[in-house]
Chain A
Amino acid sequence: MATSQALKYLAIVLLMLCVISCQREDDTDLSNDTELIDRGFKIERIDFNALKQNENVLSALEPFTNKNTSGNELSRIIHDSVNGFYIDTEKVIYIEKEGYHSYTFSMVPYEDNEKIENLLLSLQADQSYKAFILSYNLTDEEIETHKEGGIVDFTEKMDVKSLAEFDFENMSSNEAARECLDFAWIQSPRDWGFDLVITVVDCPDESNNEDDPEEIDAGDSSTGGATGGDSQSGPNTGNPNSGSTGEQTEGDPGSDDGSSSGGSTNGSNSNENNGNSPDDNEDCILDVDGNCIDDTSSLILIDDGDDRSVDEKNCDELQKLFSIPNYPITPPLKSPKQAIAHLKTLLDQNGERGYSLNHLTSNLNAVASWISNPNNNSIRYPYRQNTYGGCHSHQNDGKGDPFFSGQDLLDLLQFKNTYNNGTLVDPSLFVHVLVSNAGSITNENPVVHAIKIENPVLLQNLQIIVDDHGDADNDGIDLVLDFSKKIKQKYVEFEDPDTGQPNSDISLYQKALLRFLNDFDGNGSKTGISLYKANDDLTNWSKLTLSENNNINSDPCSN
């Protein structure tokens, strides 16, 4: 019943007025969305800092954030690790009309996803926010048509999830709210877009089919069928002004008893046609005329003008490490390539050596800063918000395994969390480079590997591990120690018990790590990390993967 109540007044009218391609050059002027503006809406793109000014929005986004994280939580808005996407807080559309406003976020998938998904946070009368996920299943042609201002029929291409009743911990498996909603696109006779009408239908938690006056059933709501319907969402709600976003030609406007179905009938001022008093719905925000202002959004396309795959981006960023800088670097700073080459000569020293990879704050040029590490066996990367990665060595002294440790993997997440105070940037930037010898006590065979972020959502899930140090959640398992132990366990197997030396066959470690990256807990959980190896003269990288027959595949970044 709670679900029904929560959805009782649910109605969304999605005003498909604009397509905001996220190319930087055109990300400012949204004032051309004249239709929205004509109806009194103000629409603008806001940035992360502006978003942070609204504490209620932060509160509304809280379920999406990882708990117990340090730094700027909003920068790591993560949702639904199963489906794999994150919310890009740099792509926010702010829509405002009188006392109403909404925020629409781009939800960025990190694996191929046919759908375009937006998160809508819509202000309610009680000043809280309702959250919806709007999923668009558009073809490339439709996207292009839409970009160019053409009309696309969104009927059957749209899905809406109300997040009001979702268990955020298990969002992907919770279909309850989805099944409480019905929706339909209604093509506007005007040339600027479509209305989306959302109605409440039978909720799955209602086992009986009796018509409960307190329950929102299909019969109660104004579903309007495939041809549309009002945003009417139940008895006595009468959400009248969906028609304000476009005209409809069919359907009953809905009625106070909620027993009829249908849609709004007219265009920009449909409240005069719906048969409802504008004030019927006391749970909505009213405009100056007393009409409800429905939940309103505007589609954001994921289109940053970058068609490169994640692997291509990672390769490009890795290749930058080996490029000759076209800017001066003042010693003791080095270029990343110089730093890596330097580490290759230090493997016979005691204790790990390393550099942090930083962007100079003055001009964002990439440089490597030597880390003074006189007293420690292991490298300590300083805390710097301009550090996007690190490179360090595992020495020939055998104190470290010749390959990435569990903590080395988690460091990649720490770089991402720390850089620019955790504000989202392209995850392909972050890198952790390891210089080691393949089981030799001499410098005969130094090898350079790097780990990159292949799936930031999965990587971010490792934050749960980081935060569980000392079994913080008191479930009897210390995830961080367990994580470190399991990879270490794989390496110890290769050690020569007579000499204590690592195995000289580096592929053993590569395979062990790749298996671990793909299943770190024995239950198929992936780390979201990919592995690369540099060639000997530091001119190219190759992505390493494990084939089905347990061989190493090496895919060069540059052929």
Chain B
Amino acid sequence: MKNLLFTIMVLIVFSCKAQSPIIQLGDYSTELVNNSYWKDVNNEINKFEGTWKYEEGNAEFIIALTKNEQYYNGSYFEDRIIGDYKYVENGILVADYLSRLTDSSVNDAQHYISGNFIVSKNHVPRCQECSSNERRFELFFTDPDRRYLSSEIILRYFIENGVEKIKVWLYDSDSAVLPYEGAPTEIRVPYGTYIMTKQ
């Protein structure tokens, strides 16, 4: 009996220790200790999954997004959006990385769109049309030819006339020391706002 009790106690202790704290995405006040899980508890990411297309004149901007669950960043686990994109300008293909999203040789950290920051309507760039409690996602956006330039996108999901759409704010997000004289100061996809329709 004594041994049984001891065994149960040990199991309880170990089972308690093995549990990692789950913290809801968008909760920034709880410390993300090592091996915790920043989880998309309410599945807010799911509606952004899919391929989204912007088209105007000779410009075409397509992004493909998917949910990346329990990605380990070296400290803790997290649910994220990952994706890749294609951009055509004046009928000329500028960048096409869409196939990378399903390429098994590309690991989860190597996609050109990634992130999981949930931001409010007033987080800049602000969203005038957003409802007061609407949550958007802020993600890193990488131009692999100009990695020294930090860029981000903010995504807002909405339905217009029964059609699923996202609004994308693409902007330069951080400082940079240019790596050589005359280095471009902008990524190849123009900064700006894009309304994209789900494909």
> Contacts A470-B142, A476-B107, A482-B74 known; A405 to B175 CB distance under 8 Å?
yes
| Beta-carbon nearest neighbor of A493 in chain B | B28
B63 to A: closest C-beta gap in Å = 17
Q: B189 at interface (Cβ–Cβ under 8 A)?
A: no
Asked if B114 contacts A415 (CB within 8 A), the reply is no
Residues of B within 8 A of A400 (CB): 174
Residues of B within 8 A of A471 (CB): 107, 109-110
How far, in angstroms, from A490 to B75 measured CA to CA in the complex?
15
How far, in angstroms, from A476 to B82 measured CA to CA in the complex?
13
Asked if B107 contacts A474 (CB within 8 A), the reply is yes
> Which residues from 399 to 449 on chain A have a C-beta closer than 8 Å to any C-beta of chain B?
399-400, 405-408, 411, 414-415, 418
Asked if B150 contacts A378 (CB within 8 A), the reply is yes
Interface of chain A: mostly helix, strand, loop or mixed:
loop
> Which residues from 375 to 390 on chain A have a C-beta closer than 8 Å to any C-beta of chain B?
375-384, 390
| Beta-carbon nearest neighbor of B110 in chain A | A471
> Contacts A382-B181, A383-B183, A499-B122 known; A470 to B174 CB distance under 8 Å?
no
How far, in angstroms, from A375 to B187 measured CA to CA in the complex?
12
> Which residues from 150 to 183 on chain B have a C-beta closer than 8 Å to any C-beta of chain A?
150, 171-181, 183
Q: A397 at interface (Cβ–Cβ under 8 A)?
A: yes
Asked if B114 contacts A481 (CB within 8 A), the reply is yes
| Beta-carbon nearest neighbor of B38 in chain A | A489
> Contacts A470-B142, A485-B115, A523-B34 known; A408 to B174 CB distance under 8 Å?
yes
Q: B126 at interface (Cβ–Cβ under 8 A)?
A: yes
Contacting residue for A411 out of B124, B176, B180, B191, CB 8 A: B176
| Beta-carbon nearest neighbor of A395 in chain B | B124
Q: A161 at interface (Cβ–Cβ under 8 A)?
A: no
> Contacts A375-B186, A485-B115 known; A522 to B33 CB distance under 8 Å?
yes
Asked if A521 contacts B74 (CB within 8 A), the reply is yes
How far, in angstroms, from A279 to B119 measured CA to CA in the complex?
76
| Beta-carbon nearest neighbor of A491 in chain B | B28
User: Could you tell me which B residues sit within 8 Å of A by CB distance?
Assistant: 28-29, 32-34, 72-76, 107-110, 114-115, 117, 119-126, 140, 142, 144, 147, 149-150, 171-181, 183, 185-186, 191
**Other A-B pairs beyond A380-B178, A381-B175, A381-B177, 13, CB < 8 Å:** A354-B175, A377-B171, A378-B174, A471-B107, A475-B109, A476-B107, A477-B109, A479-B74, A481-B115, A482-B75, A489-B32, A497-B120, A500-B121
User: Could you tell me which A residues sit within 8 Å of B by CB distance?
Assistant: 70, 352, 354, 375-384, 390, 392, 397-400, 405-408, 411, 414-415, 418, 469-471, 474-479, 481-482, 484-486, 488-490, 492-493, 495-501, 521-523
Interface pairs (11), CB distance under 8 Å: A375-B186, A377-B171, A380-B175, A380-B178, A398-B123, A470-B144, A477-B73, A481-B140, A493-B28, A498-B122, A500-B121
